Amino acid sequence: MTITVHHLENSRSQRVLWMLEELDLPYRVTRYERDRKTMLAPPELRRVHPLGKSPVIEDDEEQGASGARVVAETGAIVEYLVDKADGRLGAPPRRDEALAYRFWLHYAEGSLMPPLLLKLVLGRIPLMGRAATKRVQPMIDRHLDFVEQSLAAKPWFAGDAFSAADVMMSFPLEAARSRAGLDASRPNTIGWLERIHARPAYQRALEKGGPYAYA
């Protein structure tokens, strides 16, 4: 019995591999490559989930309506894995830290990723798109300043201990480091990136997942 991760190269699903390594849960990887022209996920993923996106996991230990339990969406998968691991890397016991944990867990995709994705899409449109990105960057900068300030007094997003909130925040901040202005002018955030990249589980996940442009 094991978890199958339907893993798309250079995607959010790298976080799922990392989470599984941190929790030491058994899993196998089914890899998919992006279409070289559109950079979209291949149609084969629709056989696993109707949206045809990654990440998606199948858990043989739990049975859904038509076989192994299928879970999609990174945040939902991360919370599912926390539950499966009896709460490890989940919300801290202290109220303030637990609230911070939940905030960052949802902020990663709900608030930080949309302007980063918007900048990526606009940057591929000649002339007008590049001009529009100039309006998006101040929005991203506001988010990056907020993150930098939040990491000024604590090493991890939920407090003194590493948690699933840090796993969720990795992809948008790695993307921001790659293409949206995150640099040494925000040392707290860069230091956090260096800490997560040094974790053995993170390194193992890179080996399992293959090429990942943001590492």
- Convert the pLDDT of each residue in 94-109 to its tens digit: 999 999 999 999 999 9
d(CA 119, CA 199): 29
CA 44 – CA 42 distance, rounded (Å): 5
Q: Which has more confidence, 89 or 40? A: 89
Question: For 184-214, what is each residue's pLDDT tens digit?
Answer: 999 999 999 999 999 999 999 999 998 788 7
Closest CA relative to residue 79, chosen from 198, 165, 5: 165
Structure tokens at 92: 């801290």
**Burial degree of 25 (CB within 10 A; 0-12, 13-18, 19+):** middle
pLDDT at 182 over 80: yes
Preceding amide of 55 cis, omega within 30 = yes
| Distance (Å, whole) CA 187 – CA 177 | 12
Query: Nearest 5°: phi and psi at 28?
Result: -130, 160
Which of 214, 202, 196, 199 lies closest to 17 in space, CA to CA? 202
